[in-house]
Structure 1
Amino acid sequence: MKKQWLLATLFAMCVGGTAANAADKPIELTFSTYLPPAYEYVWKPIENFVETVHKRSDGKVKINVFHSGQLFDGYEELAALSRGDVDMVNMTGTYLSGTIPALNIFTLPFLFQDVAHLRRALEAGLMDEGITEELYADHDTVVLGIAPFDPYEFYSRQQPILSAEDIAGKVWATTGSMDARAIQLMGGSPTGMPSSELYLAFDRGVIDGTPRPLLTGIGRSLYEVTKHLSLANFGVDTSILAINRKKWEALPEDVQNLLREAAKQRDNEQFDRVAEFVKDAVKKFESKGVTVHTIKGEQLQAMRDKTAPAVKEWADQVPKGQQYLDLVNKTKAP
């Protein structure tokens, strides 16, 4: 009897010790982003998001971040998250638009007035028209937050872009189907090209121009190989912070709440950083000898008119397409 009691006691101590160790072990999440730390207005909010989660959880949640495409590039991140190869990602909307056409809403030509307009549309529920549910139901992806890149503008190697006519007859490096279609409607020749290839393509005269955010121009030193930058708010891409659905549902409720709160903080910080970045970036391009132009008035409206078929085509193909557009129009500033 004494021997049995001793064995039972030892067993209980082992089980209890194992349970205590398991309780003490932090929740570890693997986070992947293809973006490098040099893309500061995206990277700093991610850093602060991770730090906030760690501090507020008293170290019970540990997020291991892999940047610069160490695990997956921008086009691979959604599939990797869906499979559960990583727990969290910070995806760029354009890279997902082939899989989820509704995400092209953010890069429809000249749709958003500026980043502030994008913010109003998001706060009014733009993602809830169907994008969030599609990511959840079809891709095992829970959206935690969404923030902007700075707007797409026109870089040109030799001649300034001041009107739709200046787009025509030139070769343009594009990122996705939507900006390619818009360039085509204005008479240009689009060719898909990642940002990593832009510098050499400009330097060798392979391309005449590209629509890209100012962040890309600074990060890829495009001021060394282009002479003109034309501001037009051509499109506003997004930075989507997301987590794998199964991982999410396995987390305690308090950790879920913490992640959502930290993600909201990340969104707000990135919006603020983008606004400041645009002011500084324009000055930097000018200091590097690039001539900066602003397309507005009749010339900007003419560009909208020429690219309007791309907006209609999108709305006709995407479920609730017109509802998305109505919400965007409703949130425009007077």
Structure 2
Amino acid sequence: MKVRYLLIFTLITLLLASCGNESGADRAASENPRKKIVLKIAQNSSVNHPYQSGLEKFKEVIEKETDGDVEVNIFPNGQLGNEEQEILGVKLGVIDATIISSGSLAPFVSNIEIFNLPYLFRDQEHFYRVLDGPIGVWMGKIIEARINCIFLGYSSFGTRNAWNSKKPVRIPDDFKGMKIRVTDSPILLSTFNAFGAQATNMDWNELYSALQQGVLDGGECDVVDLFVEKFYEVTKYVSFTNHFIGTAVFIFSKKKYDRYPPYV
């Protein structure tokens, strides 16, 4: 009989202790709620650009998968600086992520210039087959090491063509004397100089006004940018040179990522 009472007493004691621990855990959880994480993601083009559409999908997926623990704020139109400044922001942990062109990335990661060679890819299918394969993986690791970032993937910002306000371009010699804005890639700058143009780099968000004021004669971009950025308003001739399929890179700051709690 005494043994039975002793067992019952022991069981009650354990149950009470268990209840006490659970209430303590619940109390600790209520006293230390999860802190919402806010991500700042930058892109240099307008809200109508495919970059924005991709980032809005990224925002939707991240916020859903984290049950609202993470909020994604997107800053388009170069609100956080030009692409070079966005890259530095990711490297230094000032912003969380950005999508940038291979041209803007070239001063930081010279190896990516291989993707800036004119007429390198036959078409978009060839482009993605290369970038989704071993060469793309190899380049992603180099980008991570140079920028101190997490490489998230590639996309294309289209096949680029040249356009200007002076005359039709049918052969390379037609570029002679024209001031043409190209992306900040030594290879592309050299390419247009070889065509006879006066190739120059200018901040993307200043290009429209430079064309409007006659500082530049033309530029080069894909058809989407030609319409989205309304360059057709300040140019006359578009030549389908198809000289370059643009590589865009999506990177995330490792400094920022390492600061976030495990539940993210």
Percent identical among aligned pairs is: 25
Among candidates 95, 100, 107, match of residue 86 of structure 1 = 95
Paired letter, 2:41: F
- Paired with 2:87 and 2:202, the residues of 1 have a C-alpha distance of 20
Q: Sort the Cα spacing of 1:202 and 1:62 in 2 relative to 1 into closer, same or farther, 3 A.
A: closer
Q: For 1:153-174, what per-residue CA distance to the aligned partner results, in whole angstroms no more than 9, with x for missing partners?
A: 0102121111112122322222
Among candidates 62, 78, 85, match of residue 53 of structure 1 = 62
| 1:28 is the counterpart of 2:45 | no
Q: Sort the Cα spacing of 1:202 and 1:42 in 2 relative to 1 into closer, same or farther, 3 A.
A: same
Contact kept, 8 Å, 1:173 with 1:192, in 2: the verdict is yes
Structure 1 residue 248: deviation in Å? 3.4
Tell me the secondary structure at the aligned position of residue 25 of structure 1. coil
Q: Sort the Cα spacing of 1:72 and 1:58 in 2 relative to 1 into closer, same or farther, 3 A.
A: same
Q: For 1:236-267, what per-residue CA distance to the aligned partner results, in whole angstroms no more than 9, with x for missing partners?
A: 22222221224435667885xxxxxxxxxxxx
Tell me the secondary structure at the aligned position of residue 77 of structure 2. coil
After TM superposition, list the pairs within 5 Å mapping 1:143-158 onto structure 2: 143-158=151-166
- Aligned residue in 2 for 1:197: 206
Q: Could you tell which deviates more after superposition, 146-155 or 20-29?
A: 20-29
- Paired with 2:225 and 2:69, the residues of 1 have a C-alpha distance of 36
- Aligned residue in 1 for 2:177: 169
- Paired with 1:24 and 1:173, the residues of 2 have a C-alpha distance of 48
- Paired with 1:204 and 1:36, the residues of 2 have a C-alpha distance of 21
Among candidates 236, 248, 252, match of residue 243 of structure 1 = 252
Paired letter, 2:206: E
Paired letter, 1:142: I
- Aligned residue in 2 for 1:98: 107
| 1:210 is the counterpart of 2:210 | no
After TM superposition, list the pairs within 5 Å mapping 1:278-289 onto structure 2: none
| 1:230 is the counterpart of 2:239 | yes
Tell me the secondary structure at the aligned position of residue 132 of structure 1. helix
Q: For 1:204-235, what per-residue CA distance to the aligned partner results, in whole angstroms no more than 9, with x for missing partners?
A: 44333322222332133221222211112211
Q: For 1:107-140, what per-residue CA distance to the aligned partner results, in whole angstroms no more than 9, with x for missing partners?
A: 21121222222111112233223x3222222321
Contact kept, 8 Å, 2:151 with 2:250, in 1: the verdict is yes
Q: For 1:41-68, what per-residue CA distance to the aligned partner results, in whole angstroms no more than 9, with x for missing partners?
A: 2211110111011112322332222222
- Report which of the two has the higher share of strand: 2
- Paired with 1:17 and 1:239, the residues of 2 have a C-alpha distance of 48
Tell me the secondary structure at the aligned position of residue 35 of structure 1. coil
- Aligned residue in 1 for 2:6: none
- Paired with 1:101 and 1:110, the residues of 2 have a C-alpha distance of 19
- Aligned residue in 1 for 2:127: 118
- Aligned residue in 2 for 1:38: 48
Contact kept, 8 Å, 1:113 with 1:233, in 2: the verdict is no
Structure 1 residue 149: deviation in Å? 0.1
Structure 1 residue 81: deviation in Å? 0.9
- Paired with 1:247 and 1:204, the residues of 2 have a C-alpha distance of 41
Tell me the secondary structure at the aligned position of residue 105 of structure 1. helix
Contact kept, 8 Å, 2:45 with 2:76, in 1: the verdict is yes
- Paired with 1:253 and 1:151, the residues of 2 have a C-alpha distance of 40
Tell me the secondary structure at the aligned position of residue 83 of structure 2. coil
- Structure 1: where are the runs of 5+ without partners? 1-9, 256-334
- Paired with 1:196 and 1:244, the residues of 2 have a C-alpha distance of 24
- Aligned residue in 1 for 2:74: 65
- Paired with 1:13 and 1:71, the residues of 2 have a C-alpha distance of 46
Contact kept, 8 Å, 1:136 with 1:142, in 2: the verdict is yes
**Aligned-pair RMSD on alpha carbons?**
2.9
TM-score (structure 2 length as normaliser): 0.80
Contact kept, 8 Å, 1:104 with 1:178, in 2: the verdict is yes
Q: Sort the Cα spacing of 1:28 and 1:17 in 2 relative to 1 into closer, same or farther, 3 A.
A: farther
Q: For 1:251-302, what per-residue CA distance to the aligned partner results, in whole angstroms no more than 9, with x for missing partners?
A: 67885xxxxxxxxxxxxxxxxxxxxxxxxxxxxxxxxxxxxxxxxxxxxxxx
| Number of residue pairs the alignment of both structures matches | 245
